Amino acid sequence: MRLHFDVETGSAVRRIAVDVDAFVVAGWAGRDLAAIEHHIEELAELGVPRPSAVPLFYRVAENQLTQSSSIQALGPDSSGEVEVLVFSADGEMFVSLTSDHTDRKLEAQSVALAKQVCAKPVASKAWRFADVAGHWDELVIRSFISEGGRQVTYQEGTLAALRPPSNLLAGYLGEETEVWPAGMAMSCGTVGAIGGIRPAGSFSMELFDPRTGRRLCHNYAIEVLPEVA
């Protein structure tokens, strides 16, 4: 899957194309084991079984990545989750934003399949990882949903709550490395839903850098397709 990003570097912007041939979703990626347990229990209320390992890495088909402003989902039971997306291009690491949109009804049967059946929206802008690596834990991820005719905050937290990308990469590869594999993109975990996991007609997300005031943002609408037997 070829993705295109506008990379902000100071006042300059350059366009890059990235060919992703391996997409990994890191689940249960928090640093705080108590917070992970809370998220496990949150999903258990929806019938989702406990993970076999923490963290756990799901391979999702790269053709599920999309930079569109809308997606289609079968049935009314899917919802988004804001996550940072880390990848490399021409030997350099970059960070962008994605939503691990997931079918919550199907999750009770198979988390991996529930992730696979939903498109994964991706922002159209990115930052050089080197520009934010020194204050990575200060970056804030947020999401908003449309609910009751207004936009409400759905998720919010700093990346200090999540394992850093290098730790997740080592866990996935089974070895320490300083080189991010070419062609691989990883979705690096999320924070809990405020008020519980629930569907919505639209999902907005952002990654905010409090030191510079910069934001990476993406919004998308969800069209619900009818379930027929």
CA distance 171 to 165: 10
Reply yes or no on whether the pLDDT at 1 is more than 80. Answer: yes
Q: What is the pLDDT of residues 77-91, one digit of tens each?
A: 999 999 999 999 999
Q: Any idea which residue has 């949109």 for tokens?
A: 101
Q: Looking at the domain assignment, is residue 149 inside a domain? A: yes
Reply yes or no on whether the pLDDT at 50 is more than 90. Answer: no
Regarding predicted confidence, which is higher, 108 or 78? 78
**69 confidence band (pLDDT: 50, 70, 90):** very high
For 218, the domain range is 2-224
Tokens found for residue 122: 């991706």
Q: Looking at the domain assignment, is residue 109 inside a domain? A: yes
Beta-sheet pairing, 22-27 with 12-19? unpaired
Percent of the chain with pLDDT strictly greater than 90: 83
CA distance 215 to 205: 10
Q: Looking at the domain assignment, is residue 229 inside a domain? A: no
* CATH number reported for the structural domain that contains residue 124 in this entry: 3.90.850.10
Q: Looking at the domain assignment, is residue 92 inside a domain? A: yes
Q: Which long-range contacts link 176-182 to residues 24+ away (Cβ below 8 Å)?
A: 180/86, 180/87, 180/88, 180/93, 181/22, 181/88, 182/88, 182/91
How many domains is the chain partitioned into structurally? Answer: 1
Reply yes or no on whether the pLDDT at 37 is more than 90. Answer: no
**34 confidence band (pLDDT: 50, 70, 90):** confident
pTM: 0.94
Q: Looking at the domain assignment, is residue 65 inside a domain? A: yes
98-111: average pLDDT = 94
- Computed over every residue of the chain, the mean pLDDT equals 94
| pLDDT number for residue 79 | 98
